[in-house]
Structure 1
Amino acid sequence: MDHLSTGRLARALVLPLLVALLPAGSLAGQDSARTTLPPLLTAPVPGPRLTRADETEVRRKLQSTADAWNRADLAGHVAPYADSAAFMTGRGPMIGRDKIEASLRRGFWREGKPLQTLRYEHVSVRALGRDHALVTGRFILTGGGRDDATGWFTLVWERGPKGWREIHDHSS
């Protein structure tokens, strides 16, 4: 069998297999504007799990960030970030809680208060090991005479001597 016919045979065998393995709906257009999306990344993961108390604590700390934001406490909003947390921006990572706080102040605050109120939806907490969690969800900024601003976030939390801390934030 020459090289060309071997390639054709491989495509004839592999392509149908790949198509069969694609999740349903992968080839069809997806409605990205749906508002009733299921939680992201909820498939079971082998290995260590977070305890119910761990998940509750991570969710509580996440909610505390919105609560602090809405009472005009930016320092409280960033308090769960680790000192060396990374915040992904369009220009690359921003490293450090103080830099993150300064950036949020410049972009989303005026006269000592937030321009809009903050809430989270579709929050999912998934173990990445005993001491790490992946948190995904949607943020919504509303009010202040402005159009609503929404986006999705992926956060990595780490358990350390000071409890659960946010070490990575990618919000877009």
Structure 2
Amino acid sequence: MKKLHGLLLFLFTLTVAQAQTATDRKTILGILDRQTTDWNAGNTEAFMNGYWKSDSLTFVGKVGVTYGYDATLSNYKRRYPDRASMGTLKFTIIKLDFPARDVAYVIGKFHLTRPQIGDAEGHFTLLWRKIKGQWVIVSDHSS
């Protein structure tokens, strides 16, 4: 009987953990979809809602490391000053894992369709944390 209770407890725990991961996966993919929609509408500020509003946010790109939400937003606005430079964004998610509780890791590709100035594409790695019940990107490495 103890073995049966142990097995049932294990299966229950496993089911709850998988349900949580499925919910979190759906939430993160939803945020990425919303970011795509916001970007394609030309709304950089709304696109940034997926990021952690903190001075501890890190963004690693071609020019090095940027620290902080405001500096990251500033860089986006400087690099993509108009709709032509922003183009139309498409994300392709390659991998989404949960290496620890309240931590997610995403690897993907981005493609910007920009007929007037030429397309741009690359890969990204996003480190997510669930902070105060909300999933946010705490580190972005895009190249």
Q: Which category describes the TM-score, using the shorter chain as reference length?
A: 0.7 to 0.9
Larger Cα-atom Rg: 1
Runs of 4+ in 1 over 3 A off after TM superposition: none
| TM-score for the superposition, normalised by structure 1 | 0.66
Q: Check if 1:64 corresponds to 2:28.
A: no
Q: Rate the CA distance shift 1:114–1:57 in 2: closer, same or farther, 3 A.
A: farther
Q: What letter matches 2:53 in structure 1?
A: D
The equivalent of 1:149 in structure 2 is 120
In the other structure, the counterpart of 2:90 is 119
The separation in 1 between residues aligned to 2:50 and 2:106, in whole angstroms, is: 14
Q: How far off its partner does 1:105 sit? A: 0.7
Cα 1:140–1:132 change in 2 (3 A) is same
* Separation in structure 2 between the aligned mates of residue 74 and residue 127 of structure 1, nearest angstrom: 27
Q: CA deviation at 1:162?
A: 4.8
Aligned residues: 123
Correspondences of 1:10-159 after superposition (within 5 Å) = 51-84=21-54, 85-110=57-82, 113=83, 115=85, 116-159=87-130
**Cα 1:109–1:152 shift into 2, 3 Å:** same
Q: Distance in 1 between matches of 2:133 and 2:68?
A: 17
Kindly indicate which of the two structures has a greater share of residues assigned to helix: 2
In structure 2, stretches of 5+ residues that fail to align are 1-16
Aligned equivalents of 2:118, 2:109: Cα separation in 1: 16
How high is the TM-score relative to the length of structure 2? 0.79
Q: Distance in 1 between matches of 2:110 and 2:43?
A: 18
Does 2:142 correspond to 1:171? yes
Task: Report what 2:7 is aligned to.
Answer: none
CA-atom RMSD in angstroms: 1.7
CA distance in 2, matches of 1:122, 1:61: 13
